[in-house]
Structure 1
Amino acid sequence: MIVPTTRLYIMFWTFGGLILALLCLGVSGSQSLYDVQWLPCPFVDEKVQVNKEGHIETKYINREAVLQFGNVGDKPLHPAFITFLVTASKVDMRRYLEGSEDTLHCEIRRYSTGGNVMRWPTAGAQDHDVWFTCTIRNTQGLFVITTFLRHTTGTPAQGQMDFLQWTTVNDRDLLTTSAAMVVLTRTPSVKVGFLKEPNLHCLFAVDHKLPHATVEWRLQRHGERSKLFSYSSRTGKTEGSGVAVKAIAAGNASIKLPPTRKHSEGTYICSVMVPPLNGSHDIPLTISEQPRVSINVGSTLSMTLGKNEKLICDAEGYYPLDVNIEWYCEESGGSPMPSLLENVMHSSHRYNQDGTYSLSAIFYLQPGLENSGYKYTCRVSHKSLLTPIHKSFYLIVTEPDSTMWYILIIAMLVITCYMLPQYLSGRKTARKRFF
């Protein structure tokens, strides 16, 4: 199998970008994605073989291909590459696309029915149809959609597993396909706080009247899977909750989760099975709470020379556990780089009842007069934050008030002058009585 050269690859993407730019031109300067005629869509081919030990080995080969929308008999727009021609059906993946073409990442793969040989219930389908999946991701996280493409070949299967006898796809081949089923999520990943009730989106559609379908939701966490919901239209049996059963008939398999807690984190898997197809999307859910940061002084701290002060920076209510708290000092006049304070002590992580954590960073400040005007900053970084949180104060250092010392000295002299005569007089009287 010959992989196209790098030069041809560059020409393809350059020409492809030009075509896409031309397609985008219109009255408003933008294009409806429903009118896209083609997309660059690499084909991840497979070479499968059984080794000497009897184990199946798979080698993946990246090949350049085009996803083209049109009708049976259309010629390839880019004949130098493999063309997957998606003909009109009741399922059109383009209606679900959002954003612009440059935010779409497309990939085509082979699909194995796992030995489940059956005819797809549409006109022209055959028992030996070949299946592919086309997955389009929005790079900005708006959606992920997987479309099952059915391709009819002239050669029926020979009784082996389909992946052991993949239909050969040559460079420059045009494969006429039909979109049979799509599975879509508009929540490819979810990040929420505690005690939220997120909706995980899962939509599907088929190219004919909805046949017997099975919908399942599972949670994978720490290597274990647990079933959250299942529904079979064949039996009408429902297990679990969170999905509106009536909505499934319209292709809506979204689930609403109960209030999130620590154990809610994991990968949620929406599966839609319409034999012989089984489409699914993995939706990772993470819990994130931003820390509340405070310091125990105001924007300005006034201190007298010789005194010391306990400075505390608190980061409270954050999740997950890892957080970093640092104290910095910046000289007056603005030094090029604030210096990191080394004499900082950290408390242990405190676990709160709501599942969040708290931490304190403490240091004792005993400044000199040269520290007056310095800026002290507590910097807190956490994975929930796009940028660290800063809390600062300015230090003012003053000498002790000399007037107070004078007052104290005079007071002591007055007391001494008053008390000493009385003390001496008392001793003199006592001696007279004694003699």
Structure 2
Amino acid sequence: FFLLCTLVKIATLLFVYGSAHGSCPVLECWFMKEKVSGGLSGGPNQDKSLLYVHKHADSHRAESHDAPLEVNPDRLYFVTDPAATLCHRSLNPRRGSSNKPMCEINPLHPQPSTLELAVPLTEPALSPIYLHADWLSTALQSFDKTMSISAITRAPTGTKEHDVILTLTTKTVLVQSRLGAPVLLDCSFWADPSSPLTGTGFAVEWRYQFRGDGRLVLAYDGKSDRLSHTGEEGATLDFEALHGRGNASLILQEAKVHHSGIYICSVYLPYLQAQVAMELQVVEPPSLSIHPSPLPLTAQGQTINIQCEASGFAPLSLDLHWEFKGADGNTKVLGSGSLSSHRQLWDGTYTQSSRLELDTADLGRAGEVACVGVHPGGTRRVSVEINLIGFSSPSIEDSMAMVGVALVLYGLIKLVSWSFSGSGNNKTSIMWNGGKEKWRFLCG
């Protein structure tokens, strides 16, 4: 009992110590220097920096940390994050791991937004004393590439002790969805309630980009509680969760092919903007069919024309090929055949076909021809049986069957022959006996 109590006490102390000292990581970041307009600069445009993150302001002091040799002391930052967004475990890899989070810091100059949606946020004049400070914008991605964070921090001019004012997070950096399924693109934000910038409301904007083209999906004015723009049918927000928990996630009621692309979630406070990006991939595997099916009975050595059609798939990338599985179980790859170009259907999905001229000379007596489609949404296959006639070299089983049939036929022929022979002898005997009796009758 004493040993058990001791172990419990030790475990409790370790837990408390770990919670107080090991919950927030030291983040290695690249500080991106501002480019000087005009002229050429031969020096590096980024410096290595460190972010010492804690939940409480009194948990660390700048003078208690010595800069490593490779880090400039001016690039040490001490960040207080009451929401502990920057303390997430995915930003703190195991010691010795080669996978580390990505982190980039840029200097920030707060200014009124020119976006029509966010202009009302800055109508009341705010104190310039609060805005006159050192502001940084930090972009992070977890070491497992599953989470992205955008953080805006503020420090009194000339100091390195920053407070987090606004964070924006997504846990859906890459989303794959089947066609027609509902989609949730995660985006949540936290704003410092003690900051004067959080008292006049917020705005949320979702934009879409694909191959250089972009469009506005949805815009929401949190100050007046209204949707100022809805450019996508079936796109909406959970407004109760938005105001209650800062959940600005985009909901697509039904995934369509044209939804594939990059989505950018932006949150606006007066003079501040943070954004995170994520990718949506709408993936639908193909449906395969073979024509003709079933295959006609074919003589060995002839050529069969077979066509495979793959339809209803997205995206375009599809590996379509043929295989033959013989009666012995061995599989032979026959190639991709003659491929057609892609055709796009009304719903945005694609079709493609392959035509195969199958030479049956070396296929054996029977087997299975399969069309295989390898796609990001999964591998699909469809097959038909093939039976050939006129084999030049029958199998052992066929030879034994032929011998058996020949023996049966021979036995039947002998049986019929014996039957006819027996019937003929009896008739002759009767005739002879009849003739003898006749002679006896005639001769007395």
Q: Same fold (TM over 0.5)?
A: yes
Q: Distance in 1 between matches of 2:335 and 2:250?
A: 49
Q: Distance in 2 between matches of 1:34 and 1:393?
A: 65
Q: Distance in 2 between matches of 1:85 and 1:51?
A: 30
Q: Distance in 1 between matches of 2:21 and 2:138?
A: 16
Q: What is the match of residue 242 of structure 2?
A: 248
Counterpart contact for 1:145–1:183, Cα < 8 Å: yes
Helix, strand or coil for the counterpart of 1:187?
coil
Q: Distance in 2 between matches of 1:88 and 1:121?
A: 24
**1:68 maps onto 2:52 in alignment:** yes
- TM-score between the two structures when normalised by the length of structure 1: 0.65
Q: What is the match of residue 419 of structure 2?
A: none
Compare 144-153 and 323-332 and name the one that shifted more: 323-332
Structure 2 vs 1, CA of residues 311 and 245 (structure 1 numbering), >3 Å: closer, same or farther? Answer: same
The 5 Å alignment of 1:26-65 reads 35-51=22-38, 61-65=45-49
Compare 138-147 and 107-116 and name the one that shifted more: 107-116
**1:206 maps onto 2:200 in alignment:** no
Q: What is the match of residue 371 of structure 2?
A: 378
Cα displacement (A) at 1:100: 5.7
RMSD: 4.3
Q: Distance in 2 between matches of 1:88 and 1:181?
A: 12
**1:321 maps onto 2:313 in alignment:** no
**1:239 maps onto 2:234 in alignment:** no
**1:230 maps onto 2:219 in alignment:** yes
Q: What is the match of residue 9 of structure 1?
A: none
Cα displacement (A) at 1:340: 4.7
Helix, strand or coil for the counterpart of 1:194?
coil
The 5 Å alignment of 1:72-87 reads 72-74=60-62, 75-76=64-65, 78-80=67-69, 81=71, 82=73, 84-87=76-79
Q: What is the match of residue 155 of structure 2?
A: 151
The structure with the largest alpha-carbon Rg is 2
Counterpart contact for 1:270–1:281, Cα < 8 Å: yes
Q: Distance in 2 between matches of 1:338 and 1:78?
A: 63
Structure 2 vs 1, CA of residues 320 and 37 (structure 1 numbering), >3 Å: closer, same or farther? Answer: closer
Structure 2 vs 1, CA of residues 42 and 368 (structure 1 numbering), >3 Å: closer, same or farther? Answer: same
Q: What is the match of residue 357 of structure 1?
A: 350
Q: Which runs of 5+ in 1 are unaligned?
A: 1-25, 155-173, 404-435
**1:135 maps onto 2:132 in alignment:** no
Cα displacement (A) at 1:146: 1.4
Counterpart contact for 2:257–2:314, Cα < 8 Å: no
**1:218 maps onto 2:214 in alignment:** no
Deviation digits for residues 335-381 of structure 1, max 9, x if unmatched?
9x956548x33345454444322222122334226645777553423
- TM-score between the two structures when normalised by the length of structure 2: 0.63
Letter in 2 for 1:49: V
Q: What is the match of residue 176 of structure 1?
A: 161
Compare 63-72 and 248-257 and name the one that shifted more: 63-72
Give the aligned length: 347
Counterpart contact for 1:329–1:341, Cα < 8 Å: no
Q: Report which of the two has the higher share of helix.
A: 2
Structure 2 vs 1, CA of residues 227 and 339 (structure 1 numbering), >3 Å: closer, same or farther? Answer: closer
Structure 2 vs 1, CA of residues 211 and 228 (structure 1 numbering), >3 Å: closer, same or farther? Answer: farther
Cα displacement (A) at 1:278: 0.5
Q: Distance in 1 between matches of 2:207 and 2:20?
A: 32
Q: Distance in 2 between matches of 1:111 and 1:318?
A: 45
Cα displacement (A) at 1:105: 1.2
**1:281 maps onto 2:245 in alignment:** no
Q: What is the match of residue 106 of structure 1?
A: 102
Letter in 2 for 1:219: Y
Deviation digits for residues 272-294 of structure 1, max 9, x if unmatched?
11122210112232322112335
Q: Distance in 2 between matches of 1:79 and 1:240?
A: 50
Helix, strand or coil for the counterpart of 2:36?
strand
Letter in 1 for 2:390: E
Q: What is the match of residue 163 of structure 1?
A: none
